[in-house]
């Protein structure tokens, strides 16, 4: 069974299954909602004007009889959610009228459903940018206890590869933080370990990546940052199997690790790669996806108090089903 089939199977067995899909008039999302119900992976809520959502479904021949549809601008709970949003954000200058307007936006309404436990997770991004999906969630659902930074990881499955966990890796941060601090990098390592365990059943071995291995690059603030992040992570999360700073080859390849990082028991065995910044992470995952023909599953948003998952705008119906299944699995983790 492939990893994604395993994740769908896990989701079927879970109880917290209410996943809100704010892009309720988007065709792939409507098709995915039908499949989620049919395959008992999730109980989706589609957001949008009811006639428009059902109109799209009718055109597509999709059966939404078992899918809840909520129109945020007419919802019975709109006023109470607006008041909650206002209470939460008034110190940031939000007025009650602005809050009322914001909850009419499906991305804010959906985030508030998750915040108030009326839904267990949110999946969007088929037509909205990562930033647009993230901002309402960051402002309302916020980060998990003990975590200050939300980041985005990818599960990378590289064909015909013996490195990592037989070709399976977690790459992070590939989606959110342009220039993380050393503290944030340490937290990204922690959250990525959690993703590796909960979604991949993987025992994480984490490499903090750089263009230098154990001092080979001399002194530079970029290397210092990764070194500091490694120290912080080791101190704060002593149970993690983690080391750095490593170049990618020293992290992944046992033979290279032996010569470049002979004292490290993590070098050469890494399956969770923590990139020093978003440029490196985003470019890195796309290169591996395109050149090594790897399957790239994500971005998986990690560190959020409750699961919110972003989609790529090029996503397929199947991708939406898979991401919703991940959301269900994460909701119980």
Which residues are at the interface with ligand ACO (CB under 6 A)? Answer: 92, 130-131, 134-135, 138-139, 143, 149-150, 174-177, 282, 299
Q: How far is the CB of 173 from ligand ACO (least distance, A)?
A: 8
Q: How far apart are CA 276 and CA 205, in angstroms?
A: 17
> Considering beta carbons, is residue 13 or 148 the nearer one to ligand ACO?
148
Q: What is the DSSP string of 269-309?
A: ---EEE-SSHHHHHHHHHHHHHHS--EEEEEEEESBSS-EE
Check: CB of residue 186 under 8 Å from CB of residue 232: yes
Q: How far is the CB of 245 from ligand ACO (least distance, A)?
A: 22
Question: Residue 191: which region, alpha, beta or left (left: phi > 0; alpha: psi -120 to 50)?
Answer: alpha
Which two three-digit tokens encode residue 59? 């055109």
> Considering beta carbons, is residue 119 or 134 the nearer one to ligand ACO?
134
> Considering beta carbons, is residue 60 or 96 the nearer one to ligand ACO?
96
Q: How far is the CB of 303 from ligand ACO (least distance, A)?
A: 7
CA 118 to chain centre: 20
Q: How far is the CB of 23 from ligand ACO (least distance, A)?
A: 16
> Considering beta carbons, is residue 194 or 243 the nearer one to ligand ACO?
194
Q: How far is the CB of 129 from ligand ACO (least distance, A)?
A: 7
> Considering beta carbons, is residue 33 or 300 the nearer one to ligand ACO?
300
> Considering beta carbons, is residue 69 or 297 the nearer one to ligand ACO?
297
243: helix, strand or coil: strand
26: helix, strand or coil: coil
Alpha-carbon separation of residue 199 from 4, 155, 159, 286 (angstroms):
9, 9, 19, 21
Paired strand residues for 273: 171, 207
> Considering beta carbons, is residue 71 or 310 the nearer one to ligand ACO?
310
Q: How far is the CB of 91 from ligand ACO (least distance, A)?
A: 9
Q: How far is the CB of 183 from ligand ACO (least distance, A)?
A: 12
Which two three-digit tokens encode residue 305? 């108090």
Q: How far is the CB of 176 from ligand ACO (least distance, A)?
A: 5
Check: CB of residue 256 under 8 Å from CB of residue 268: yes
> Considering beta carbons, is residue 40 or 179 the nearer one to ligand ACO?
179
Buried b (16+ CB within 10 A) or exposed e, 125-158: bbebebeebbebbbbbbbbeeebebbbbbbbbbb
């Amino acid at each position: 069974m492939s990893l994604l089939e395993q994740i769908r199977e896990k989701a079927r067995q879970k109880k917290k299954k209410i996943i809100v899909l704010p892009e309720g008039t988007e065709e792939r999302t409507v098709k995915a909602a039908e499949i989620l119900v049919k395959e008992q992976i999730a109980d989706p809520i589609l957001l949008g004007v009811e006639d428009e959502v059902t109109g799209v479904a009718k055109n597509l021949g999709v059966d939404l009889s078992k899918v809840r549809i909520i129109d945020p601008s007419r919802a019975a709970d709109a006023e109470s959610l607006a008041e909650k949003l206002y209470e939460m954000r008034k110190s940031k200058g939000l007025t009650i009228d602005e809050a009322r307007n914001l909850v009419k936006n499906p991305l804010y309404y959906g985030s508030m459903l998750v915040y108030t436990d009326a839904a267990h997770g949110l999946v969007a991004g088929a037509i909205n940018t990562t930033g647009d999906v993230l901002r309402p969630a960051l402002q309302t659902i916020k980060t998990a206890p003990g975590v200050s930074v939300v980041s985005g990881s990818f599960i990378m499955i590289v064909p015909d590869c013996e490195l990592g966990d037989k070709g399976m890796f977690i790459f992070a941060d590939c989606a959110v933080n342009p220039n993380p601090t050393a503290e944030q990098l340490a937290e990204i390592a922690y959250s990525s370990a959690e993703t590796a365990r909960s979604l991949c059943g993987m025992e994480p071995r984490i490499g903090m990546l750089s263009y230098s291995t154990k001092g080979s690059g001399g002194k530079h603030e970029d290397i210092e940052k990764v070194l500091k992040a490694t120290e912080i992570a080791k101190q704060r999360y002593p149970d993690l199997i983690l080391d750095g700073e490593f170049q990618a080859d020293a992290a992944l390849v046992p033979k290279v690790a032996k010569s470049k990082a002979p004292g490290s028991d993590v070098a050469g065995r890494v399956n969770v790669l923590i990139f020093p910044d978003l440029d490196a992470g985003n470019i890195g995952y796309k290169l591996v996806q395109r050149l090594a023909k790897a399957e790239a599953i994500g971005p998986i948003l990690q560190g959020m108090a409750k699961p919110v998952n972003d989609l790529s705008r090029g996503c397929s119906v199947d991708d939406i089903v898979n991401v919703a299944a991940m959301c269900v699995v994460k909701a119980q983790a």
